[in-house]
Amino acid sequence: MKSNIGMLIVLAVFFTLTAVGYVLLSNIYWGYTEPIGTIVIGLLVPLCLFIAYYLYAADKRSALLPEDRLDAEISDDSGEVGFFSPWSWWPLILGASLAFVFLSLAVGWWLTYFAIPFAIVAVIGFVFEYSRGAHARS
């Protein structure tokens, strides 16, 4: 976690310098400070610092992670990653419907009206996959 904290602090410094440069360049180019880009880049700074602080506080409360130890082996971090359904088609349907949602940004908004219902059905099917059918858990 220490490397993640350091990376986020470096990103916060980078975004601070980027926001200052954006303000200066927008003043030179347009003659005024462009508000949207300045706000968006500026809000990245507290976002990075917030996540870095959360990781710092969590690091103080938890044990030393294998990636933070110099004498750690690769096998120290092995174990169960998660549970994945090998027969599930819902991730494919969800990915395809979200691809159409993002495609609508390039093609036209009319495609969104067709893609959003498929995305909603795919999310519901993915979430409730083990609540119904042959693999239902009681």
Give 110-119's long-range contacts (Cβ < 8 A, gap of 24+). 118/93, 119/94
C-beta separation of 33 from 23 below 8 A? yes
CA distance 131 to 125: 10
For 9-58, write each residue's pLDDT tens digit: 999 999 999 999 999 999 999 899 899 999 999 999 999 999 999 999 98
Amino acid at 41: I
CA distance 59 to 15: 24
Which 3 state secondary structure label does DSSP give 124? helix
Whether pTM exceeds 0.85:
no
CA distance 100 to 115: 6
For 35-49, write each residue's pLDDT tens digit: 999 999 999 999 999
Q: Specify the pLDDT at position 138.
A: 58
